[in-house]
Structure 1
Amino acid sequence: MTMDLDDILALAADPTPTSFESARARRAADQVLRRYADATAAGLDVVGDVDPSDPLTTVADEVTRIVRAAQLAKLGSVTWLADTGELTWSDEMSLILGRPPGAVRPSIDALFAAVHPADAIQAHRDAVRAWVRGSVTETTCRVIRHDGTTRYVHALIELVAGEGHRPYGIVATVEDVTELELARQERDRLARRRQTVRAEPPHADPVTGLLTRVRFTDEVERALRAGTGALLVVATEMVGPAEAGGSSPEAGLSAAVAAFVMQVAKRGDLCGVVGYGELGVLMHDTPLRAATARARAIVEALRGQSFVAGRHRLRVNAWGGLVRYRANDGASSFDLIIDAESAWRRAKETGESLHAWSQPAPADERAETCRTRVRAAVAGNGFTLYTQPILDLRLNQITRQEILLRPLNDAGEPVSPSPFLDIAERVDEMPVIDRWVLDRTLELIAQGPPTSHYQVNLNARSLDDPDLLGHVCDLIDQYGVDPRQITFEITETAIIGSRMQALTFANGVRELGCQLALDDFGTGYSSFSYLRSFPIDLVKIDGEFIVDLRNSPAAQAMVVSLVQMCRALGILTAAEYVKDGATIDLLRGYGVDFVQGEAVGMPRPIAGAPRSAEQSIVLELAVRGL
């Protein structure tokens, strides 16, 4: 608490301070004593002539010395007397408000006129609380100085009582804390940023512990830029049935095979997951002859080893594909992986354990190999369809199913679609796959309940096909499907790459009666503009905002704003990757219309879906509810 020169002179004239002056001096003493203790702890001598003692236990001159120290601290003071309603403030307070002392007559109106409008109500409440409750109240607010600049001030508001503890005024000790407040805000911002910044994708595959396909591809790319070496892709396949009953041993077998490959591989080689049953081994700075010998040893060791997975003792067959790389070959990491995969397939076809190439394949030859593989899968029904239920939060009932594609491996088992579809997209064969999906899906819908609704994904490349809309019309007529049962899902990528084609298709399917959904919403640069320019009926909020929604205030704010915006535009919303009931409750409270994910139901194969070219196509849709 500070006192001006007039106060000091008054005290000097009358050595017996009033109760009001004594209270002010005591507050000033407390403030200075705290500062003195901090300075002493830090080894500083801030005010050399101040004796840290209680001024009310010594002569009045000690009060003068304490007040002098308080003025050196540049603390302002505001005093209000209840009997007269008079408000005064010190010269230091004038300086805090950006005014020369005496330039403005102190008053309640002048004081609150200087407080930032957004903080004025709270500052007034804190002052009233101090008076009504008789307790010390602290508040931090902004003041707008005469020159228009804004400063943060901290006020300690205290009730002053006289004889008989009768309150007769309020005194506020005010300090400019702008630098401290800005530093605190920056610490809070950095803490929030650490919590909300997008986490780096996981490096390790959860089953095998090896590098994920994405991470392994990055490492291959880095090695390719750095020099020469060889890339091995090993494919494994379980031989015969398991020796003991129980749960499926595939996951345990994959982990056991991965551990064995890491053990056999040379120290320094990097291992990663390439695909289902496929492991990659990166042998950097290794000549072709040495890499070939090492690769053959790995494959032969796998063939001769038995593995224990749970209660199962298993053996595997293995084939290897090796390709040597140089920094100037012009091939990418994706190209090398494709070539190594093609090499192990060649080894399997020819009955070898390993097939090695001394250099990457020519680009046109590689592309043709990929196209042949994709077209063979389409012609041979090398896919199957899954459905995933979608919960309508308004009804708490499953009302929709999303149709999902799963490629089949050489054993006829469904596997993750990402590696295969990545290949198909790079060689522009996605339209062929999408047509396969459309043909089977429309037939499924025709055989399913007429009240169900189905969501079908379309790749961006397919929207470049000028005949796609006509093909959809023909299928609807052929199977007699109600177009209101269908929602086509497209991504922002489709709109960016083929804006006019995407708009033509969108308007066309809407005229038919189908609906349109924008998938993975919220991750692009211009998603919001598409909601106004495209006839979107449903927005699927990207799963990265949903997976940790309960623990992420940033994700919660994002989802709330997206839902509010979509609702204003008349667009439904759906959330993906919902893991638990608590997340469903949050989304329901936000006004999200649909949810899907583990908490609702995992993807399941459609009964009777085709599994090989020899099997007849008998399609029956199994619609599952809660």
Structure 2
Amino acid sequence: MTVDLDDILALAASHKPTAFERASASRNTRWVQQQYARAKADGRDLVGDVDLHDPLRGDTGEVPRITRAAQVAKQGTVRWDAATGEMAWSDEMSLIFGWPPGVVRPCVETLYRLIHPDDARRVRRAAASAWRELSASELTCRVIRPGGITRWVHCYIEILTGADGTPQGIIGTAQDVTELELARRERERRARRRAIVERESGNLTPGNGLRTRGGFTDEIDRARRTGSGVLLVVATEPQGGIEPERLSEVIANFVMTLARRTDICGLLGPGQLGVLMPDTGLRPATSLAETMVEKLRDQLFVAGPHGARVDAWGGLVRFEAHDESSSIDLLIDAESAWRHAKETGAVLKAFPRPAPADERQETWRTRVRAAVAGNGFTLYTQPILDLRLNQITRQEILLRPLNDAGNPVPPSALLDIAERVDETLPIDLWVMDNAFELIAQGPPTPHYQINVSGRSLGEPGLLGRVHDLLDKHDVDPRRITFEITETARIDNRSGALHFARAIRELGCQLALDDFGTAYSSLIYLKAFPIDLVKIDGTFISDIVNSPTDQALVRSIVEACQAHGVLTAAEYVKDDATIELLRGFGVDFAQGYRVGPPMPIAGAPASSGTSIELDLRMDPTA
């Protein structure tokens, strides 16, 4: 039998639509009107057979026509009758679910099995809210097709009511919006990533716009690759006994006002600043550096209620493009230059070129050995809070070199230099000798963490010294954790693994420092018999305000828990950070909120031999 369009319209005219058909037609009419308006706004010439008016207010023959329009648009419908509990959905809806029409029997249970488990509760809440409030609701959710394929679907949920206003059923219209949803998520991802990179790529010190030491050394390397320039290191010492840390930010801001717009400034340590002058000759750089140092000496600086003047010296070194000297080498040379200026009573010392590698290495090897032989160090401790007990249960023993005045300074620059001239083992042995002696004299209960350079682990003398010291001082090995620094620089992997296994057999524990800053961290998490990792402070210092840092720390904690490894967080500065870390499952916290580094009573003091190498900020802050 052949049925033409007029017969269909005549049949529709003689049939009174149900509440479901009326709601479906209204919904589809609105969609067609939106598409029509959008097409007109785009300037397209529309030729069609559709009259844009509500079919339920006039000729009901429009219902099949509008339904057909919805079919062309690949919209699906789901209908549920409250009186019978029956559910039905259109062929288009079956195709959205990924099934041929008629294969899956529609019912409520099947519907929620087809919706993604993570979205099913949200869909239920939207339907319940629409039913309760007799209003429409819309949302985007995911459906799971055969084979586990996920698609995003935008749903519009409406409530059907009787003549007395009571709800009688639900009708939902759905459209596959996977491509639109993926495009939206990609736009958001790119915007979020762009904002994060813009915030982090400068490696700026919070509050003053200066590069951190890491960011500053990156800028030096970039300048070396692209051209020549001059590196200036300015050292300051406050007069009147004020600690350099209290004036560092004030002095840094002052130096930035003296630098040129094209210069790059970095905070290298308490009282030390770097100024990178790309594409600058030695003569103009020397003139600018002399002006900076003289104005620093003339300026009265105020930090809080205190005012102070500073002594200042400058060291310059010029470099050429693709010079063999690294950024660390240039920093060492500039630091040597200002030390030379200080020793000779000059304002500034300039080197026209980097020092020869063998000369630089021999000079610094001699200085490091002299510091070790002359007890040019002292030891500090910093408390570690057990977040599970809310109690201090550990102390980390920290190395502090002594400067010319016999005052302790951060050790990072010394360790950098020692690693470059292969003199880390003598420093590690000095720390062990003095640390074990102090532990033996202290209270019996605390647990101590002792830093060991990754480059020393493979040295055979290290393990033997641990054996001797445990026997000599009768220290319980269960009270000792050896904390490995610079894991990426372990030279002898097999020797380091032998050391790690041997000290754990003795009863000591093993920790990894600065975890999360290098790809090798995860390798060591699996391959090394470690008990604790210290999450690098760069992920902790602003974690309360950084969702990205929160996500990274959560993932590190989960990975460590899966491997049976404890976690500790560095750079903890406030109670909000402590509570957040406790909620993430971090085991220990360390930082100035828990307690600052403090000198150990009875630790070695200056004996006249010292080394001044405070090129980097204190890593325990």
- Give the shorter-chain TM-score range: 0.7 to 0.9
Aligned residue in 1 for 2:538: 544
Following superposition, the deviation at residue 422 of structure 1 comes to: 1.4
> Whole-Å Cα distance in 2 between the matches of residues 121 and 187 of structure 1?
26
Say if 1:176 and 1:6 are closer, same or farther in 2 by CA, change over 3 A.
farther
Aligned residue in 2 for 1:175: 175
How many matched pairs? 604
Q: Which moved more, 1:134-143 or 1:600-609?
A: 134-143
- Pairing 1:450–2:444 present: yes
> Whole-Å Cα distance in 2 between the matches of residues 338 and 585 of structure 1?
41
C-alpha contact (below 8 Å) 1:486/1:515 kept by paired residues: yes
Q: Which moved more, 1:496-505 or 1:195-204?
A: 195-204
C-alpha contact (below 8 Å) 1:252/1:309 kept by paired residues: no
1:330 to 324, 334, 356: 324
Structure 1 unaligned blocks of 5 or more: 243-247, 616-626
Aligned residue in 2 for 1:357: 351
> Whole-Å Cα distance in 1 between the matches of residues 425 and 248 of structure 2?
33
User: Aligned-pair RMSD on alpha carbons?
Assistant: 4.0
Say if 1:69 and 1:366 are closer, same or farther in 2 by CA, change over 3 A.
same
> Whole-Å Cα distance in 1 between the matches of residues 232 and 158 of structure 2?
77
> Whole-Å Cα distance in 2 between the matches of residues 196 and 318 of structure 1?
37
Say if 1:543 and 1:71 are closer, same or farther in 2 by CA, change over 3 A.
same
Say if 1:127 and 1:405 are closer, same or farther in 2 by CA, change over 3 A.
closer
Aligned residue in 2 for 1:213: 213
Aligned residue in 2 for 1:413: 407
Aligned residue in 1 for 2:510: 516
Aligned residue in 2 for 1:380: 374
> Whole-Å Cα distance in 1 between the matches of residues 551 and 153 of structure 2?
30
Following superposition, the deviation at residue 105 of structure 1 comes to: 8.1
> Whole-Å Cα distance in 2 between the matches of residues 32 and 220 of structure 1?
62
1:341 to 327, 331, 335: 335
User: 2:440 corresponds to which letter in structure 1?
Assistant: A
Following superposition, the deviation at residue 258 of structure 1 comes to: 4.7
> Whole-Å Cα distance in 2 between the matches of residues 566 and 393 of structure 1?
16
C-alpha contact (below 8 Å) 1:579/1:597 kept by paired residues: yes
> Whole-Å Cα distance in 1 between the matches of residues 267 and 119 of structure 2?
61
> Whole-Å Cα distance in 2 between the matches of residues 147 and 276 of structure 1?
60
> Whole-Å Cα distance in 1 between the matches of residues 265 and 273 of structure 2?
7
Question: 1:192-591 residue pairs with structure 2 within 5 A?
Answer: 193=193, 200=200, 203-205=203-205, 210-239=210-239, 241=240, 248=242, 250-251=244-245, 253-254=247-248, 257-258=251-252, 261=255, 268-292=262-286, 295-296=289-290, 298-299=292-293, 302=296, 305-310=298-303, 314-327=308-321, 329-491=323-485, 493=487, 497-591=491-585
> Whole-Å Cα distance in 1 between the matches of residues 82 and 572 of structure 2?
60
- Pairing 1:26–2:26 present: yes
> Whole-Å Cα distance in 2 between the matches of residues 169 and 7 of structure 1?
31
Say if 1:206 and 1:55 are closer, same or farther in 2 by CA, change over 3 A.
closer
Q: Secondary structure of the equivalent of 1:518?
A: strand
C-alpha contact (below 8 Å) 2:13/2:60 kept by paired residues: no
Say if 1:145 and 1:595 are closer, same or farther in 2 by CA, change over 3 A.
closer
Say if 1:154 and 1:273 are closer, same or farther in 2 by CA, change over 3 A.
closer
> Whole-Å Cα distance in 1 between the matches of residues 495 and 161 of structure 2?
79
Following superposition, the deviation at residue 198 of structure 1 comes to: 9.7
Aligned residue in 2 for 1:73: 73
Aligned residue in 2 for 1:624: none
C-alpha contact (below 8 Å) 1:75/1:174 kept by paired residues: yes
> Whole-Å Cα distance in 2 between the matches of residues 388 and 94 of structure 1?
65
> Whole-Å Cα distance in 1 between the matches of residues 262 and 140 of structure 2?
58
Following superposition, the deviation at residue 43 of structure 1 comes to: 5.0
Q: Which moved more, 1:457-466 or 1:555-564?
A: 555-564
Q: Secondary structure of the equivalent of 1:503?
A: helix
Say if 1:119 and 1:401 are closer, same or farther in 2 by CA, change over 3 A.
closer
CA-to-aligned-CA distance 1:480-502 (integer Å, 9 cap, x gap): 22222211111471685332111
Instruction: Report the TM-score when normalising by structure 2.
Output: 0.82
User: 2:182 corresponds to which letter in structure 1?
Assistant: L
Aligned residue in 1 for 2:613: none
Aligned residue in 2 for 1:58: 58
> Whole-Å Cα distance in 2 between the matches of residues 296 and 113 of structure 1?
76
Q: Which moved more, 1:466-475 or 1:54-63?
A: 54-63
User: 2:491 corresponds to which letter in structure 1?
Assistant: G
Say if 1:140 and 1:384 are closer, same or farther in 2 by CA, change over 3 A.
same
User: 1:513 corresponds to which letter in structure 2?
Assistant: G
Q: Secondary structure of the equivalent of 1:237?
A: strand
Say if 1:430 and 1:300 are closer, same or farther in 2 by CA, change over 3 A.
same
CA-to-aligned-CA distance 1:14-62 (integer Å, 9 cap, x gap): 0654555444433333443444454455555667444433333333345
Q: Which moved more, 1:26-35 or 1:124-133?
A: 124-133
C-alpha contact (below 8 Å) 2:20/2:171 kept by paired residues: no
Say if 1:544 and 1:10 are closer, same or farther in 2 by CA, change over 3 A.
farther
CA-to-aligned-CA distance 1:155-207 (integer Å, 9 cap, x gap): 43444344545665543323222223323443454466567769526544568
C-alpha contact (below 8 Å) 2:248/2:270 kept by paired residues: no
> Whole-Å Cα distance in 1 between the matches of residues 205 and 99 of structure 2?
65
CA-to-aligned-CA distance 1:196-243 (integer Å, 9 cap, x gap): 76952654456875444333333333333344444343333345x37x
Q: Percent sequence identity over matched residues? A: 61
C-alpha contact (below 8 Å) 2:229/2:278 kept by paired residues: yes
Q: Secondary structure of the equivalent of 1:330?
A: coil
Aligned residue in 2 for 1:621: none
Following superposition, the deviation at residue 67 of structure 1 comes to: 4.4
Q: Secondary structure of the equivalent of 1:458?
A: strand
Following superposition, the deviation at residue 263 of structure 1 comes to: 5.7
User: 2:424 corresponds to which letter in structure 1?
Assistant: M
Following superposition, the deviation at residue 537 of structure 1 comes to: 2.0
C-alpha contact (below 8 Å) 2:157/2:170 kept by paired residues: yes
> Whole-Å Cα distance in 1 between the matches of residues 420 and 509 of structure 2?
28
C-alpha contact (below 8 Å) 2:541/2:571 kept by paired residues: yes
Q: Which moved more, 1:53-62 or 1:593-602?
A: 53-62
> Whole-Å Cα distance in 2 between the matches of residues 50 and 112 of structure 1?
33
> Whole-Å Cα distance in 2 between the matches of residues 589 and 228 of structure 1?
50
Following superposition, the deviation at residue 398 of structure 1 comes to: 0.9
Following superposition, the deviation at residue 290 of structure 1 comes to: 5.0
Q: Secondary structure of the equivalent of 1:464?
A: coil
Aligned residue in 2 for 1:611: 605
Aligned residue in 1 for 2:114: 115
Instruction: Report the TM-score when normalising by structure 1.
Output: 0.82
C-alpha contact (below 8 Å) 1:545/1:559 kept by paired residues: yes
Q: Secondary structure of the equivalent of 2:300?
A: strand
Following superposition, the deviation at residue 418 of structure 1 comes to: 2.0
> Whole-Å Cα distance in 1 between the matches of residues 130 and 263 of structure 2?
74
Say if 1:397 and 1:28 are closer, same or farther in 2 by CA, change over 3 A.
same
> Whole-Å Cα distance in 2 between the matches of residues 475 and 6 of structure 1?
103
